[in-house]
Amino acid sequence: MTYNRIEVKPLSGTCGAEIFGVDLSEDLGNETFAEVQRAFHENLVIFFRDQDINEEQHKAFGRRFGSLNVHPRYVPLNGHPEIFPIRKDPEDKKIVGASWHQDLTHLEKPPLGSILYALDVPPVGGDTLFANQYLAYEALSDGMKDLLDGLVAVHDNRIQAPSIAAERNANFTSKVRDDPDEKDEPEMEHPVVRTHPDTGRKALFVCRPRTHRFKGMTEAESKPLLEYLFEHSHRPEFTCRFRWEKGSIAFWDNRCVMHKALNDYPGHKRYMNRVTVNGTRPV
Ligand code: SIN
């Protein structure tokens, strides 16, 4: 089906497309919004260039897709609880999101997606990689698909535990809160293969930072198969790579893509704001 309101230019044969003809500082009419939504479902992650939006416009775009998440651990932007500032200063050694992952998979209802807006970017480097998890699932053998279809994974948020908040905060410009109650974030069970609520397609749904075992198994027993899936899930042929400019926006579908930020710009600053749209319980 063609697009009448927007232009859609795929970034790879796998996932990702740049969208032209949209100004996100304005309210999108229903027809334009429907085309943006279709492009999102068809391409899994969509990109906009040269956008000039304030925090309210950023949140308003997110709210077209659902209610907004308040990050359980990171300190939000002043006055905007729904905005998660992702910051690296020149002297920082570490960055947020450096491992392949989906966002907040330890929540009962992990996000639908995240909308990342570039405020300041390094002269070179700091790209983000995305991997198509429909393809990751479809590329598996029938035997492996049958095995995974019956498995449930247990997710937790130990990477951001309050016990390691001080160490994290010494090394990251984006700060985690040191006051959250771990009891508010129990281990969460999700199917290893989830069915996307809008497209009906099956996607692999495990990631190294938050998935530590299968339900009914120990971590040691689960590790070999999980490690295989973690490596398989970002094979180069499932990925696309986005080069940021100031004013760029990426909106990824957290239900069917993984992502990873590259830490290859030592001595430079990279400032982004992220708005995250709440999702539904994976089935
Ligand atoms: C993230 O949301 O995981 C960070 C992505 C990025 O900074 O490119």
Residue 274 annotated as catalytic: yes
pLDDT band for position 164 (cuts 50, 70, 90): low
Tokens of 39: 């492009």
Go through 34-70 and write b for each residue having 16 or more CB atoms within 10 A of its CB, e for each that does not: ebbeebbeebbbbbbeebebebebbbbbbeebeebbe
Record the pTM. Answer: 0.95
pLDDT tens string 220-256: 999 999 999 999 999 999 999 999 999 999 999 999 9
Catalytic: which of 71, 101, 212, 213? 101
User: Is 89 a domain residue?
Assistant: yes
Residue 210 annotated as catalytic: no
User: Is 18 a domain residue?
Assistant: yes
Atom of ligand 1 nearest to the CA of 84: 2
pLDDT for the residue numbered 181: 61
Residue 155 annotated as catalytic: no
Q: Which of 128, 172, 210 to mutate to test the pocket of ligand 1 (most atoms within 8 A of CB)?
A: 128
Span 74-79, average pLDDT: 92
77 neighbors 55 (Cβ within 8 angstroms): yes
Comparing CA positions, the residue from 220, 260, 218, 221 lying closest to residue 238 is: 260
Q: Which of 83, 84, 96, 242 to mutate to test the pocket of ligand 1 (most atoms within 8 A of CB)?
A: 96
* Measured distance CA(25)–CA(61) in Å, rounded: 9
pLDDT for the residue numbered 241: 98
User: Is 95 a domain residue?
Assistant: yes
Could you give the number of structural domains in the chain?
A: 1
AA letter at 265: Y
User: Whole-number mean pLDDT of the chain?
Assistant: 94
User: Is 29 a domain residue?
Assistant: yes
Q: What is the CATH number of the domain that holds 19?
A: 3.60.130.10
AA letter at 89: D
**Phi and psi of 101, rounded to 5°?**
-165, 165
In the chain the first and final C-alpha atoms are separated, in Å, by 28
Span 146-173, average pLDDT: 83
- Its domain, for residue 43, covers 7-136+160-181+240-277
Is the pLDDT at 159 greater than 80? The verdict is no
H helix or E strand, kind and range, residue 112 = none
pLDDT tens string 6-21: 999 999 999 999 999 9
